A and B are shown apart, each in its own frame.
Chain A
């Protein structure tokens, strides 16, 4: 215990001695991500890029001995971009002024517009030059940042000869970008350059491994509650798995504790330890080595994700439908790439509306009945399309009799409120909807309630509607559950099917949207709406994740739009703001913060977009 107290005191003392930065001036990633993203896109950045937190990497630069003892600035976060995302530091507090720290974020977002490939030293200078030439307004900002950045760099006098030369060249390159093309070598690496991108950015998922070989042993997706949520990317390297014959403990001396990053031959896939500190350990490590078989320490074995035996599964309808998929890297639509299997829960027992929803349903029916089309003549109007003959005759009679008749209310007007629309509600039934949203309900329960109340409301308005759900297990098993087709009546049978929905598998959104679009386009209505109810990003077991999934979904949505269908998304994913605008446009979606409010908000939204 005393060691602990002394250690804590020591740590505070040392950190206090070296920590010159003002914590009040810190600017956090989450506060800046939206405006920085807008700036990046406005200046010409790729709209498909996500903006993520950069992983911290080892600081090879020179630190004072006090800093080294205190362990401060051991890790630094520098920005970089690849074809998936733009990575920005999780926070910036380099300067004592919040405005300057903010400006540095914006500068990095702007610099990312210029591609940074090739030699780090030359390319960063060139990118700076190009950017300042295109947007001269940034010149003043650059000079301001440069001034403070230079003042934060190590004193040239304090460096050894070769490092002093190197530092001098770096300073020149920063002050007059494009003036030097060669960075001299020195004994120690240079002090990190915060105005530029990362010299050796960590590897991204660009080198994707093939999907796991066996179904029953894949890693559970990011949506499970227990998997830690760490947005930072970690520097990764691939190694082929080396099977250990003895399968015994590692032989590892205590003093090598500093070499975390060494590749240790442990048979991780079968290591059952609850690794509670995995997140911290991952932060500490420079490199996480992932073996080629795709199984990590966090792998969780979920046998129940395997397809159910045929007799207990929903009844398939037909042989399945072949649908294309968009491969954004190849820039081509892969024909007949996915097989979508419509299925219906044949064994669902017909049931009535759940008792606890009865009161709400009644209220909603009453509210929605007011939306039904009405066509009526409004009489005695001051303006209108026709003369109101009754009012006019009375007016004439009054005048003839010498009464002072008012010249108002002599017209009538036809009031028409037509509703001619079809709505298809497509619910995401992937395994992630199994997560709890509060103490009582899972996402799937909220979705089920929403389906019930939505049906009640649309039944009241007499709008044509269909209810469908989807999940997927790779491209050949896209399960498209028919809950209520457009021509079916909303009855106990349908209610039974709503009650029977259950979560499972993954979210291959593109194919489901394409099929929903083809169903909707055949409806005779003038307006057609596709409402997508989901809880997360598109993802599946194969390459269908990250940008691949997003791009395919976007393509599918554009196809659907070109058919004259209006897609709209309702999501409970709080991080949806980062990718949904790319898919649905700025006003084509809503994020529901309290999932328990889903059914209520869904209906308000429906009333708004259709009325």
Chain B
């Protein structure tokens, strides 16, 4: 059976080349993404919260000039939510494409954020798309969509997340080229913070030093560590004229824990960096 020919529309991406979101590479991830895109390989990105996974994918989609469909997965997300479903209107029922189907039809990039949060049956629809068949069968409508070369599937998850009872099934994990993200090196992180917020280098350096100190408490005293995103938040507040100590409390310390004793201790770390 000949697969239906899908016409690929020109990308209707709001990000035109001049408007590519800022992303500072840590290593070879940009090249890896390019190669995976060219060779039509699906990509898995692992990394902690706020280390730039989503920004990286947005950046790459803009660079490659492809539409991006981002789905934030949650534990109620089903295969139907990805593929599509029948809906009802006055004249009867009609089929409505889900984000995955739309990405396949348009030859875009489908990005499933925190994929392990989704229900188990979701990953099953991904399987035929992630091997050499690259097809998406739509059971309800009887269609079998052949993914065009421009289609790319990217999934991400946070391996150290609290809910690590929900690991990723090896059968799913082994279908992806994997990329591990960590927090950037201090110099790089400082540059990111400066570019994102326009804050002066001295302040950026102090913020990065503070956040490195807070990160060293991971697992022992804190569940989650402060992300680059939080540093950027703190820097934005400071840049806007908010006092540094208060900005660190609001954007970094309070975001990490609810325990007042730990907050007091973390504030001591803030004082060690910024004075009182």
- When distances are taken between beta carbons in the complex, the residues of chain A under 8 Å from B217 are 38, 41-42
A249 lies within 8 A of chain B by Cβ: no
Contact, CB under 8 Å: A566 / B266? no
Q: Mark B237-276, 1 if CB is under 8 A from A, else 0.
A: 0000000000000000000000001101110111111111
Stretch at the interface among B49-57, B60-68, B80-88, B110-118: B80-88
Most-contacted residue by chain A among B209, B213, B220, B262 (CB, 10 A)? B220
Given A38-B262, A137-B271: A385 in contact with B222 (beta carbons within 8 A) = no
Contact residues, A421-448 vs B (CB, 8 A): 421
Contact, CB under 8 Å: A35 / B268? yes
Identity of the chain B residue whose Cβ is nearest the Cβ of A527 in the assembled complex: B165
B12 lies within 8 A of chain A by Cβ: no
Task: Count residues of B near A (Cβ-Cβ below 8 Å).
Answer: 38
Stretch at the interface among A51-59, A76-84, A581-589: A581-589
How distant is B129 from chain A, measured CB to nearest CB, in Å?
A: 19
B93 lies within 8 A of chain A by Cβ: yes
Q: Tell which of B119, B165, B216, B223 touches A44, judged by Cβ atoms closer than 8 Å.
A: B216
B214 lies within 8 A of chain A by Cβ: yes
Contact, CB under 8 Å: B216 / A42? yes
Stretch at the interface among A11-19, A138-146, A451-459: A138-146
B1 lies within 8 A of chain A by Cβ: no
Contact, CB under 8 Å: A587 / B221? no
Given A41-B221, A586-B221: A110 in contact with B272 (beta carbons within 8 A) = yes
Contact, CB under 8 Å: A564 / B274? no
Identity of the chain A residue whose Cβ is nearest the Cβ of B81 in the assembled complex: A385
Task: Count residues of A near B (Cβ-Cβ below 8 Å).
Answer: 40
Q: Mark A104-120, 1 if CB is under 8 A from B, else 0.
A: 00100010000000000
Contact, CB under 8 Å: A581 / B221? yes
A47 lies within 8 A of chain B by Cβ: yes
How distant is A356 from chain B, measured CB to nearest CB, in Å?
A: 34
Contact residues, B207-231 vs A (CB, 8 A): 209, 213-214, 216-217, 219-223
Given A42-B214, A44-B216, A410-B88: A135 in contact with B167 (beta carbons within 8 A) = no
Given A41-B217, A47-B220, A137-B273: A385 in contact with B165 (beta carbons within 8 A) = no
Q: How far is the CA of A3 from the CA of B1 in the complex (A)?
A: 112
| Other 14 A-B pairs with CB < 8 A, given A421-B165, A566-B165 | A34-B262, A38-B221, A38-B266, A38-B269, A42-B213, A137-B273, A141-B271, A385-B81, A407-B88, A581-B219, A581-B221, A585-B223, A586-B219, A586-B223
Using a CB–CB cutoff of 8 Å, the interface residues on chain A facing chain B are 34-39, 41-44, 47, 106, 110, 135-141, 385-387, 392, 407, 410, 414, 416, 418, 421, 527, 564, 566, 581-582, 585-587, 609-610
16 chain-A/chain-B pairs, Cβ below 8 angstroms:
A36-B265, A38-B265, A38-B269, A41-B217, A41-B220, A43-B213, A106-B268, A110-B272, A136-B273, A139-B275, A141-B276, A392-B93, A407-B88, A421-B165, A585-B223, A586-B223
